[in-house]
Amino acid sequence: MNETVKRDLLIENARLVDPSQDLDCSARLLVINGCVSKIDPTDQEIPATCERLDAKGKIVAPGLIDLGAELREPGNEEDETIESGSHAALAGGFTSVLCCSSTRPCIDSPGAVEFVRQKATKARGARVHVIGCLSKGREGEQMAELGLLSVAGAVAFSDAPKSMPNDALLKRALEYCRMFDLPIFDRPEVPELAEGGMMHDGQVSLLLGLKGLPTEAEDLAVARDVRLAEATEGRLHVGPVSTMGAVDMIRRVKSRGIDVTASVCPHNLCLSDVKLRSFDSKYKVHPPLRSEKHVETLRNALADGTIDAIQSGHMPRSREKKMDDLDLSPFGGSALETTLATTITYMIGEQLIDWKTAINRLSTAPARIAGVPGGTLKPGAPADIVIIDPDATWMVDATRFRSHCISSPLDGHSLQGRATHTIVGGEIRYRLTPDLGHIA
Amino acid sequence: MSTAVQPDIEFPKHWHRRHLLDLESLSSDEISTILDVAQQLKDLTQGCRHKISLLAGKTCANLFFENSTRTRNSFSLAAKRLGADTVEFSSVGSSVAKGETFVDTAKTIEAMGVEWVVTRHGTPGTPHLLSRELDCCVLNAGDGPHGHPTQGLLDMLTIKQHRGDIKGLTVALVGDIAHSRTARSNIWGLSKLGAHVIICGPPTLVSPRWVELGFEVAHHLDDILPRCDVLNLLRIQFERQRARPFPSVHEYAALYAMNGARMRKAKDDILIMAPGPINRGVEITPEVADGPHSVILEQVTNGIAVRMAALWLLSGANERARSNTTSSPAD
């Protein structure tokens, strides 16, 4: 990172929302040398050369942290690159992204971790933290070299978006990882039950004749995951989850004091499987759009804290891939640039959660789950900050995404709320400019 | 050789659809219109045997990505009976094998100046996708297990010819509902025209969700047989099944095959239908398939009738749309 561009910064007239300090108040925020220096500094404490940023009417919060986005590089640069993905993240208000291990070759060696980290540093987008493979080659047979991966900088281990089909391997890895105090992420799905599925298994799939992804494929995997977490006392994060059964099980193990965390994707909080009636591949996403009752359950579970975090579920796929018929078209879509607004529109806007809870689910909780810096505006913390215009109403036009992927289940939706500035380590790396025409 | 004559038939004023994608989106009036036109065209062609020049100069493209002999030939004959030309296209040995997407393939065919694209594909929704991409008429000749509207229509036309009215009849669909596009098209078409539909088969092929959707579900054919006016016996689609949904064909036949013993429990005037190809000895025994209650071969003839009706109606609506959008009548 180029240290010389870092200027001291005073954000004024802001509504400061920081769940890590239980704050929601009007305040000034002083950033010095890339770190948060003080909330409400006195005039004497503000350096004369300080850049001033007027955040009147805006919300200032710790930058968002994504628990898992595919950046597709190396190997699938037609879908996304580390540069395009990390800049899409900035535009979505994310200051940190955990990138999935599902590249080609996959991230199962220290060299691969190093490659991503170097590319990300050069890209100067959001910070990119690396999720290392859980199994060698993501084949579900042998444990990857988790210790060496952690030395190289991996912050978590997972084969996501693929599930870990091998129970014994998952158990051993949960035990083994305890000595690094690093979490394992599992995207819960029993592959045999999900095989060939194109959408949620329910009334709509029945009518459309589309092979379904049954909820029990997820429920069974969650049951296994939480039981193994309990047995090993390992650090386990399950997600994204999408079913009532998953929520029910997570709620029960949490009530018994077992430290398991869970996340949900924004599309599962607002869209249902009825969308597939159009046969449009932009609705073929992962996890699949479920029926209304699952959506309702997930919304409530996110509100009451059973689900700890929102993760973008960013799975970019190139246009030509998504143009194919529903069977051949891959699961996935662009999500980094809509996650914040989806949360604001469908969770805050419908009064299921307040701002503090929203920022907790999008920033503070993910930081804690992944054990990465950020998620707080406490003095001394890196100045990873998002400034949000809560009233901006905009129409999602996926062709204007910074992400290479222009397929989004929210394309064409009118959403509320938008990141206007994304600040990484005290440096304003993203500014929403009116000439982009994004603000309606 | 028959000479093409100018037919005496009036285009239905209220018909506006350019595509036939599924029966779910049609109103009961629209379904009745197709059936009425089909009957008229069947009569005008003397039982779908003679040629009339209703659609002379137009070309129908058969774009089949799945194997088919009867549906493909039925569409071809329907087009030819109305004086249209046909062009055949199959995925075997085509550009699809060279990596072209099916939308691009369809656009290429359309650019050759065809009026209709008749398409069959293994994935549900592909005709819907094409209808958004093409300006010509799109007819669904089967999209995976989702829809096969002309099959539903020909089944209904056959019932109508025998019973006059579909309303109030009890029709059972028996067999592999899970993988059957014929079932889904029948379910929508028949229920829109007021029939009582029973969906019958083992629970691995008949989802309990059909009950949530308001349909009667039965797992034992013998329980419902005495109530049925029509049985539509669906083929077991082994090629679409990933895992066998019942222990053996032998057991399936014992539970669901329509045989002589079961015929004796049925109503005297029961109609036995099958979309074909039939598997003798699996869902139907030869004595029933070839017996007096079987209308299986009439269904085949009626297939040409409803396909003629669909081609003519869609083309008429397309012409009307074209003349409305372009000011130049020379177009």
Instruction: Inform me whether the pLDDT recorded for A270 exceeds 90.
Output: yes
Contact B186, B173 (CB under 8 A): yes
Considering only the C-alpha atoms of chain B, give the largest distance between any 2 of them, rounded to a whole number of Å: 66
Number of domains in chain A: 2
Instruction: Inform me whether the pLDDT recorded for A104 exceeds 80.
Output: yes
pLDDT value at position A146? Answer: 96
Mean per-residue pLDDT, B306-314:
98
Q: What's the number of CA atoms in the CB half-sphere (13 Å) around residue A423?
A: 34
Confidence of residue B331 (pLDDT cuts 50, 70, 90): very low
Give chain A positions within 8 Å (CB) of B24.
207
pLDDT value at position B237? Answer: 82
- Taking Cα atoms as reference points, which of A187, A134, A188, A183 lies closest to residue A158? A134
Residues A155 and A264 placed together within one structural domain of the fold: yes
Interface test with B, best of A325, A326, A327, A328 (most B CBs within 10 A): A325
Which two structure tokens, joined as six digits, stand for B308? 């003629």
pLDDT in tens, A285-326: 999 999 999 999 999 999 999 999 999 999 999 999 998 889
CA distance B173 to A168: 46
Residues A365 and A416 placed together within one structural domain of the fold: no
Q: Residue B283 CB: number of other CB atoms within 10 A?
A: 24
The pairing of beta strand B59-64 with beta strand B116-121: parallel
Mean per-residue pLDDT, B193-219:
96
Give the nearest chain A residue to B206 (CA atoms): A206
Q: Where in chain B is the domain with CATH 3.40.50.1370?
A: 28-147+300-319, 149-299
Confidence of residue A260 (pLDDT cuts 50, 70, 90): very high
Q: Determine, yes or no, domain membership for A407.
A: no
Instruction: Inform me whether the pLDDT recorded for A211 exceeds 90.
Output: yes
Confidence of residue A437 (pLDDT cuts 50, 70, 90): very low
pLDDT value at position A439? Answer: 40
Amino acid at B285: T
Q: Determine, yes or no, domain membership for A147.
A: yes
Instruction: Inform me whether the pLDDT recorded for A279 exceeds 50.
Output: yes
CA of B213, closest CA in chain A: separation in Å?
8
Of A417-426, B139-148, B316-325, the poorest mean pLDDT is in B316-325
DSSP string, B41-57: HHHHTTTTTS-B-TTTT
Confidence of residue A147 (pLDDT cuts 50, 70, 90): very high
CB-based contacts of B112, cutoff 8 Å, min separation 6: B59, B61, B87
Instruction: Inform me whether the pLDDT recorded for A123 exceeds 60.
Output: yes
Residues A344 and A430 placed together within one structural domain of the fold: no
Name the helix (H) or strand (E) containing A300. helix A292-304
Residues A56 and A133 placed together within one structural domain of the fold: no
Cis peptide before B208 (omega within 30 of 0): no
CA of B146, closest CA in chain A: separation in Å?
4
Instruction: Inform me whether the pLDDT recorded for B3 exceeds 60.
Output: no
Q: Residues for chain A: how many in total?
A: 440
For position A249, which CATH number holds?
Answer: 3.20.20.140
pLDDT value at position B238? Answer: 78
Residues A97 and A171 placed together within one structural domain of the fold: yes
Confidence of residue B120 (pLDDT cuts 50, 70, 90): very high
pLDDT in tens, B257-270: 999 999 999 999 99
pLDDT in tens, B121-167: 999 999 999 999 999 999 999 999 999 999 999 999 999 999 999 99
pLDDT in tens, B244-254: 889 899 999 99
pLDDT in tens, A41-76: 999 999 999 999 999 999 999 999 999 999 999 999
Give chain B positions within 8 Å (CB) of A323.
101, 103
Residues A160 and A47 placed together within one structural domain of the fold: no
Q: Which structural domain range is residue A91 located in? A: 63-370
For position A50, which CATH number holds?
Answer: 2.30.40.10
Please write down the HEC assignment for all residues of A375-438: CCCCCCCECCEEEEEEEEEEECCHHHCCCCCCCCCCCCCEEEEEEEEEEECCEEEEECCHHHCC
CA A236 to mean position of chain CA atoms = 16
Q: What is the ipTM of this complex?
A: 0.88
Confidence of residue A436 (pLDDT cuts 50, 70, 90): low
pLDDT value at position B101? Answer: 79
Q: pLDDT exceeding 70 applies to what percent of chain A?
A: 97
pLDDT in tens, B270-294: 999 999 888 998 999 999 999 999 9
CB-based contacts of A81, cutoff 8 Å, min separation 6: A71, A72, A73, A119, A404
CA distance A219 to A242: 9
pLDDT value at position A411? Answer: 97
Instruction: Inform me whether the pLDDT recorded for B97 exceeds 70.
Output: no
Residues A55 and A101 placed together within one structural domain of the fold: no
Confidence of residue B186 (pLDDT cuts 50, 70, 90): very high
pLDDT in tens, B42-74: 999 999 999 999 999 999 999 998 888 899 999
Which two structure tokens, joined as six digits, stand for A296? 């309702």
Q: Residue A373 CB: number of other CB atoms within 10 A?
A: 16
Which residue intervals of chain B are DSSP H helices?
A: 28-44, 70-81, 102-111, 126-133, 149-163, 181-192, 209-212, 221-224, 249-256, 260-263, 286-289, 296-325
Give the nearest chain B residue to A194 (CA atoms): B242
Residues A426 and A319 placed together within one structural domain of the fold: no
Q: Determine, yes or no, domain membership for A398.
A: no
The torsion angle over the Cα atoms of residues A85, A86, A89 and A94, rounded to 10 degrees, is 150
Q: Determine, yes or no, domain membership for A360.
A: yes
CA distance A254 to A229: 11
Contact A33, A4 (CB under 8 A): no
Q: Determine, yes or no, domain membership for A363.
A: yes
Confidence of residue A3 (pLDDT cuts 50, 70, 90): very low
Q: From chain B, which residues contact A within 8 Å (Cβ)? A: 24, 101-103, 121-126, 128-129, 143-147, 179, 181, 184, 207, 209-210, 212-213, 242
Residues A151 and A55 placed together within one structural domain of the fold: no
Residues A215 and A340 placed together within one structural domain of the fold: yes
Residue in the block written with tokens 């699949």: A288
Phi/psi at B10 (nearest 5 deg)?
-105, 135
Q: pLDDT exceeding 70 applies to what percent of chain B?
A: 94
Residue of higher predicted confidence among A303 and B92: A303
Determine the 3-state secondary structure of B89 from DSSP.
Answer: strand
| C-beta atoms of B125 and A324 within 8 A | no
Confidence of residue B92 (pLDDT cuts 50, 70, 90): low
pLDDT value at position A275? Answer: 98
Q: Determine, yes or no, domain membership for A400.
A: no
Residues A46 and A167 placed together within one structural domain of the fold: no
Q: Determine, yes or no, domain membership for A395.
A: no
A279 vs B: CB within 8 A: yes
pLDDT in tens, B293-308: 999 999 999 999 999 9
Q: Residues for chain B: how many in total?
A: 331
pLDDT value at position B329? Answer: 45
The residues that bridge with A212 in the sheet, in sequence order, are A199
Confidence of residue B241 (pLDDT cuts 50, 70, 90): confident
Q: Which chain A residues in 290-349 lie under 8 Å from chain B, judged by CB atoms?
A: 320, 323-328
Residues A67 and A56 placed together within one structural domain of the fold: no
E-assigned strands of A33-188? 35-39, 51-54, 59-62, 64-69, 94-99, 127-132, 156-157, 184-186
Architecture of domain B28-147+300-319: 3-Layer(aba) Sandwich (3.40)
Give chain B positions within 8 Å (CB) of A279.
124-126, 128-129
Classify domain B149-299 at the CATH class level.
alpha beta
Residue of higher predicted confidence among B272 and A7: B272
| C-beta atoms of A326 and B123 within 8 A | yes
